[in-house]
Chain A
């Protein structure tokens, strides 16, 4: 094909023999007509041993059916065919000549099948050009491996981020609760002082009045007709002041005042019990008491929205962190009160189950759409408008219950209402160890 007569046929042949890639020429029956040095060096067989045999005698590792089809199609259609190292990494079973790493022991090859014509332009046979792609393949494989590693790392990081979000949510909420607890304790102290003396004073006043009325009665007994005539202004004063009513009403007035003071006292006590500044530790707690004091704290938020029905079962005290469990109740009750519309109803039920106790808070509110039911426990997930919810309540409740080795589950039917159920074991498996380490640490 060349115009340059200076290049002889021998020169071309020796170039073909010496070229640093495998060159084979086979006829239609796959008999080897030509094989170059590359093939000999890598197969360990001389050209004489290879030429004259079929491809499959010379290279038993070749897939016969596939190779025959390739060669036939190239021969018949006079077109090119190609197979890359990705498709057939080791078409010929050659060892790697330049191992980049110890991992690569076989030569990766690309192979081109091309038609070869004789001087008259007739089909002579099919040429195979085999190039060593070990370097590329090794790099490529390394990159793929690195990619996999990166992918793994990425998913590990995603997991870490999720955990961090969780931890941050908990931290935020527990900081908030700690602040509220401190505030509650401070307010409780400040309120308890005035309540203390007002209560006591009201009692003293009642005793004083008893004495004063006794005195007045005695005066009345002692005064006679002449005395009354001498001082008609006394009767007028008495009528003007509506003495009889006053005397009757004072008792009621004091009783009501004492009732009111009792209520303030109870609210302050509940607020403190709820925030439990003094009890961030494991203790036996009566969940019904926790529910009641929590209800008291948020009674104002609930009472205009929903009727609360208590259906308490017979449960025993469980080992828990009372303040944290109260937080869960608070979150669930507030959510329920946000969910209900007119004729709202919140049912609080409890009972024993499965070696533990459960508390269910059921509302007849708008329910939770199916597509977000599995997201509601995620931190920062909220459907409430900005400012109404942090998206932390349920995720925190969930982690608190999990920390107590319990389960928090939800059943909800959009439009019909939701039921949140917390199940808690009677005793904590790890508390003993906790206590032991706390004692050692102190």
Chain B
């Protein structure tokens, strides 16, 4: 797989936040990226979208009513461990974050207010890691190309 093929591959990214303004600003930020974006304003909506679409990456707010970010991402991780999960947090609840990272169901966390560039880099990096992992788990696909 060469780099051109990689960059042309479109990824499906789901953004989850109970505040629509956040979703909209993220959507604007990621407009130029080769992503198919899905937006959800609650954990429940995110899960039902997750059932319908193959999703490569989720960027999710930590504090949401009913189902909070870590709970949603833990659920997602159970169903698809290769989905890259990124947690957006408005406050640093360190124990919750370290627990989530050491349990392996989030790839990294980004604190609000985020730096646009840093967020974009984090998303790129997550997808690169995902590609490497998928290649490792499925070496046949590599050789057949």
Q: Which residues does A use to contact B, with CB under 8 Å?
A: 185-186, 188-190, 192-201, 203-204, 261, 265, 272, 278
Contact = CB atoms under 8 A, between A and B. Distances in A.
B136 interface: no
Contacts of A188: 90-91
Contacts of B91: 185-186, 188-189, 192, 272
Interface residues of B, number: 21
B63 A196 contact: no
Contacts, number: 60
A201 B28 contact: yes
A310 B5 CA distance: 56
Contact of A196 (B28, B31, B114): B114
B71 interface: no
14 contacts: A188-B91, A190-B90, A196-B88, A196-B90, A196-B112, A197-B24, A200-B28, A200-B113, A201-B25, A204-B25, A204-B29, A261-B113, A272-B91, A278-B92
A131 to B, nearest CB: 82
Contacts of B94: 278
Interface string B2-23: 0000000000000000010110
Contacts of A196: 22, 25, 88, 90, 112-114
Contacts of B116: 199-200, 203
Interface of B: 19, 21-22, 24-26, 28-29, 31, 63, 88, 90-94, 111-114, 116
Nearest to A200: B25
A348 to B, nearest CB: 28
Nearest to B19: A193
A189 B24 CA distance: 19
Contacts of A272: 91-92
Q: What 9 A-B pairs are tightest by C-beta distance, nearest first?
A: A197-B25, A204-B28, A196-B113, A189-B90, A200-B25, A196-B112, A195-B113, A192-B112, A189-B91
A196 B125 CA distance: 21
Contacts of A201: 24-25, 28
Nearest to B110: A196
Given A192-B113, A195-B112, A204-B29, 11 more contacts: A188-B90, A193-B19, A193-B22, A195-B113, A196-B88, A197-B25, A198-B25, A199-B114, A201-B28, A272-B92, A278-B94
A190 B112 CA distance: 10
B29 A200 contact: yes
B63 A189 contact: yes
Contact of B29 (A193, A195, A203): A203
